[in-house]
């Protein structure tokens, strides 16, 4: 039976619970243990699929088609363990399942209540389908004291009593603020957060105290005394130069050692952190620097493109260079006549998005990249806009557009109405609910032999994760290819365009899927590695 580690947060949000969970998972892996990570989100949405990127950041997609919290991206990047639908649950999904059961009569006429019905669903989720692993790490979203999180904390409290002795661990992430006027750090927020947690029956075993400077031993002893934990269980979590320094930093502070000690594991293998040390060395001592412009719709919130950002970092690691990102808001760019906006960048990446806003700006970015021979990488919507640009300016279809933008143009891009998922045919209409109805998850594609993208992958058959509801119309393939745009990747049945490129261009590739979701620091995605390499070559020409 696996051991369970429950990670909660207090004082304020955005303390890095997801990174702490991912880093701890990586540390346990470094000692030879198998891990699985899960996220419990208290919000009422069934999943984050219909939430604004400004509200929630990016939506992470798993191989099996789950739209999940972005923290699952951290889990995958740090551990290499693919997440699944079973690794992210929300209050909305729990209540949806409970109401369905109640309507079917599954509760045999009982009064359905938060306790035991909601808490039982949460516990079933935590314990289900763990697989052959040594540790399951469960992170609870939000902070202690949030009213919507109470059923989750109650479920975790019950699990401590129901699991065998020393089979669970509570880790609480708090904040140690420095008050400049007083010239000292304050322990009171941590004390109050633990007090709140204890009031609902949970005594934390380990405290991870986030701080921007060293926490002296006097403050650690004070926290241990007032929060009823061992002094060695008060771990400082200092700000790091890179998120990929966090596993090394937490190991130095003794986090993994303390967790193993809590579980009574005294003969654990020694941690092998050599690959993390190598990544850290590459990040902090690069051989050069390239600048990549990201022309997006939600650039005011970097978390909206979290996987894109990290995949570019991974591409930099693969090429021993630092990738500097220049964020450009597509809507502002489309209204700008300044020819210097993209001057000096070594690559242009246009990410996914929804709706017409900013579309013309993304098309302008594709035009600039194509005509100025700057490496271009279009992802999902970025590929679609590159095709619209090619249709207008290479194939002479002046009113080329997408049906996503309404009527009035020739729709090179249209709403997907049916596609194949495994052995089944999936159908959609314009009136279908938005939530969970896109083409989601991993799908195969066949690449054209001799193409640029086949060269990048080093193979002809690939499988990548999708999240989209519009698709380039295959009926325009011949006309666009005659104009110089190569459809270098298609679905196995040859119906859905997956990849386009421009032969002879230094690097101009658009993909319908999201390769950033499968990139890892120790295994950069080949397209991001290739794109950054092309940007590096571009920088040497400037």
Residue numbers annotated as active site: 380, 514, 516
Closest CA to 349 of 266, 291, 280, 276: 291
Q: Show the DSSP H helices in 237-339 as ranges.
A: 246-252, 255-262, 274-284, 306-319, 330-334
Query: Helix (H, G, I), strand (E, B), or coil: what is residue 155?
Result: helix
Q: Report DSSP state, residue 203.
A: -
Q: How far apart are CA 377 and CA 511, in angstroms?
A: 8
How far is the C-alpha of 57 from the C-alpha of 47, rounded, in Å?
A: 13
Q: Rounded CA gap, 10 and 416, in Å?
A: 43
Say how far apart CA 319 and CA 529 lie, in whole Å.
7
* Pairing status of strand 234-238 against strand 67-68: unpaired
| Cα-based distances in Å from 277 to 359, 411, 449 | 41, 50, 38
Query: 468 forms bridges with which residues in the sheet?
Result: 439
Residue 46 to residue 221: CA distance in whole angstroms: 42
d(CA 439, CA 418): 9
> What whole-number distance in Å separates Cα of residue 382 and Cα of residue 375?
13
How do 88-90 and 35-41 pair as beta strands? parallel
Let me know if 261 is exposed, middle or buried by CB neighbors in 10 A (0-12, 13-18, 19+).
middle
Half-sphere exposure of 450 (CA within 13 A, CB side): 3
**C-alpha–C-alpha distance, residues 328 and 333, integer Å:** 7
Question: 338 near 367, Cβ under 8 Å?
Answer: no
């Amino acid at each position: 039976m696996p051991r369970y580690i429950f990670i909660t947060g207090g004082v304020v949000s955005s303390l890095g619970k997801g990174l702490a969970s991912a880093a701890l998972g990586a540390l346990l892996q470094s000692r030879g243990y198998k891990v699985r990570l899960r996220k419990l989100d208290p919000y009422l949405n069934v999943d984050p699929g219909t939430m604004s990127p400004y509200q929630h950041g990016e939506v992470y997609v798993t191989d099996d088609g789950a739209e999940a919290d972005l923290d699952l991206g951290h889990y995958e990047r740090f551990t290499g363990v693919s997440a699944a639908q079973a690794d992210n649950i929300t209050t909305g999904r729990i209540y949806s399942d409970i109401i369905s059961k109640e309507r079917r009569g599954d509760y045999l006429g009982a009064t359905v209540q938060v306790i035991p019905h909601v808490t039982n669903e949460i516990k079933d989720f935590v314990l289900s389908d763990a697989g052959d692993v040594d540790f399951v790490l469960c992170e609870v979203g939000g902070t202690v004291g949030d009213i919507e999180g109470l059923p989750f904390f109650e479920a975790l409290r019950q699990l401590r009593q129901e699991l065998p002795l020393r089979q669970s661990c509570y880790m609480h992430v708090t904040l140690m603020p420095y008050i400049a006027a007083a010239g000292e750090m304050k322990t009171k927020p941590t004390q109050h957060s633990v007090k709140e947690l204890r009031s609902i029956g949970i005594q934390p075993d380990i405290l991870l105290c986030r701080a921007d400077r060293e926490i002296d031993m006097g403050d650690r002893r004070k926290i241990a005394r007032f929060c009823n934990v061992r002094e060695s269980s008060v771990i400082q979590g200092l700000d790091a130069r890179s998120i990929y320094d966090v596993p090394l930093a937490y190991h130095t502070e003794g986090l993994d050692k303390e967790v193993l000690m809590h579980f009574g594991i005294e003969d654990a293998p020694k941690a092998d952190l050599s690959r993390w040390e190598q990544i850290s060395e590459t990040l902090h001592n690069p051989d050069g620097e390239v600048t990549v412009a990201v022309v997006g719709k939600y650039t005011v919130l970097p978390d909206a493109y979290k996987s894109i950002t990290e995949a570019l970092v991974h591409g930099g690691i693969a090429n021993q260079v630092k990738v500097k990102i220049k964020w450009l808001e597509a809507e502002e760019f489309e209204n700008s006549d300044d020819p210097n906006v993209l001057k000096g960048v070594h690559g242009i990446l246009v990410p996914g998005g929804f709706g017409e806003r900013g579309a013309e700006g993304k098309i302008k970015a594709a035009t600039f990249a194509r005509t100025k021979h700057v490496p271009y990488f279009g992802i999902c919507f970025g590929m679609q806009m590159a095709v619209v640009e090619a249709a207008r300016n290479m194939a002479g279809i002046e009113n080329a557009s997408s049906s996503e933008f309404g009527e009035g143009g020739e729709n090179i891009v249209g709403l997907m109405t049916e596609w194949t998922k495994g052995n089944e045919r999936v159908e959609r209409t314009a009136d279908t609910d938005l939530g969970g109805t896109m083409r989601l998850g991993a799908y195969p594609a066949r690449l054209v032999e001799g193409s640029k993208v086949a060269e990048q992958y080093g193979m002809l058959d690939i499988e990548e994760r999708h999240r989209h509801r519009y698709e380039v119309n295959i009926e325009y393939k011949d006309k666009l290819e005659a104009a110089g745009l190569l459809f270098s990747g298609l679905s196995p049945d040859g119906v859905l365009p997956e990849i386009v490129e421009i032969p002879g261009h230094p690097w101009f590739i658009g993909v319908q899927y999201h390769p950033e979701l499968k990139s890892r620091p120790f295994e950069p995605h080949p397209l991001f590695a290739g794109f950054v390499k092309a940007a590096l070559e571009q920088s040497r020409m400037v």
